[in-house]
Amino acid sequence: MARVYFLLGGNLDNREEILSEAISRMKLRIGECTASSFIYETEPWGFEHEQNFLNQVVVIETRLEGLEILDITQQIEKELGRVRKKNQYSERTIDIDILFYGDKIIATDRLVVPHPRIQERLFALVPLLDVAPEFLHPIINKSIKELHATCLDTMEVKKFKE
């Protein structure tokens, strides 16, 4: 069994309902959810939009491999109205990122784990602090707590709902 850390986020439609539905579908298709963070609200990262994002980290225990999980999460995104645009940073109903797959390092043309920019993004690190503050990044070899303390991102990440 592997412990997989996911970051979910979205800023279109009923943001909270879509997060909840994405997690329900992930539980059915990927595995048992063992932890989830609070929900946080942040401004869009890398682009401008009038609606803020809701973000949440969930931890799921699974027997599936990384690429299988990627296929499933992309299908869930599509089912929940995600439209992929050429610009990497844009508004969306849901985005499901695989942050960590245990302490494995995966580097393929479709999937890179750990997520390559996690240490630069408070909207990922803050919810990770809720569920895994001592987890060690397998490449950088620092805990989530240490990465958070040294992150240069100045974006405000505020609790939306507990």
pLDDT at 61 (0 to 100): 98
**Predicted confidence pLDDT, tens digits, the chain (162 residues):** 999 999 999 999 899 999 999 999 999 999 999 999 999 999 876 656 678 999 999 999 999 999 999 999 999 999 998 876 655 665 778 999 999 999 999 999 999 999 999 999 999 999 999 999 999 999 999 999 999 999 999 999 999 965
49's tokens: 């939009």
Q: How far apart are CA 84 and CA 66, in angstroms?
A: 21
* 111 vs 113: CA distance, rounded Å: 7
The answer to whether 119 touches 34, Cβ cutoff 8 Å, is no
Largest separation between any pair of C-alpha atoms in the chain: 41
| Catalytic residue ranges | 82, 92, 95, 97
Is 34 in contact with 3 (CB distance < 8 Å)?
yes
Token pair recorded at residue 156: 């405000």
The pair of three-digit structure tokens given for residue 89, joined into one six-digit string: 């940073």
Structural domains of the chain ordered from first start: 2-161 (3.30.70.560)
Predicted local confidence at residue 45, as pLDDT: 67
